Structure 1
Amino acid sequence: MQTNDVLAALAALAQESRLAVFRLLVQAGPDGLAASKIGEQLDIAPSSLSFHLKELTHAKLLTSKQDGRFVIYSADIQTMNGLIGFLTENCCGGIPCAPKRG
């Protein structure tokens, strides 16, 4: 993943509603959810939701497909995994590690 893509993804996720949308769609899996269902579940107004979905899509964190009169959004798992991989690429100097338990 390129640095510019990482920055775009992190910027898109650095907002409460967009983070909630992304997490909901990760939970929904590859079938995704219609925009109306996302709005209902997260109590986000359609105009605000449209903006947030556009920002997440622009950051390549979501994909969308038309299903009749509905637009179905899904989390782009490949981008998510690329982001996680980028952030952890050199974790612990390349030595396998596990989180410390408190």
Structure 2
Amino acid sequence: MQDSTAAQALAALGNTTRLQLFRMLVRAGEEGATVGDLQRMLEIPASTMAHHLSTLTRAGLVTQERQGREVISRVDFRLTVSLVGYLTDECCTGLKVERQDDAA
């Protein structure tokens, strides 16, 4: 994963409502949830929901699919697992600090 992709995803999650929304979708699993159900559960206006879902979708964290008259939102678990891996894959490997006079 590139730094810019990770930064965009993390920025999208940097809002309390979007983080709550994302966590709800994680709990929903592969089935996802309708936009209407999410809106009712979070008790926010439709325009606000659209804004938050749009931000999560642009960041690649959420996908949306129209099924008849409903829109189903789902977490992109592939990207989410990749993001977590990006954040933790060098855990506990230590830091190598290179001093300026060592670099010359």
TM-score, structure 1 normalization: 0.90
* Matched residue SS, 1:92: coil
Identity, % of aligned positions: 40
Residue 2 of structure 1: CA displacement?
Answer: 1.1
* Matched residue SS, 1:93: coil
Distance between the aligned counterparts of 2:44 and 2:92, measured in 1?
40
Asked if residue 41 in structure 1 is aligned to residue 29 in structure 2, the reply is no
Asked if residue 29 in structure 1 is aligned to residue 29 in structure 2, the reply is yes
* Matched residue SS, 1:60: coil
2:71 aligns to what?
A: 71
1:99 aligns to what?
A: none
Asked if residue 60 in structure 1 is aligned to residue 73 in structure 2, the reply is no
* Matched residue SS, 1:14: coil
Asked if residue 17 in structure 1 is aligned to residue 22 in structure 2, the reply is no
* TM-superposition CA deviations, 1:37-89 (whole Å, max 9, x none): 00001111100000000000000000111110111000111111011000001
Distance between the aligned counterparts of 2:44 and 2:93, measured in 1?
42
TM-score, structure 2 normalization: 0.88
Structure 2: unaligned runs, 5 residues or longer: 95-104
Q: How does 1:62-101 map to 2 (within 5 A)?
A: 62-93=62-93
- AA paired with 1:70? E
Runs of 4+ in 1 over 3 A off after TM superposition: none
Q: CA RMSD in A?
A: 0.9
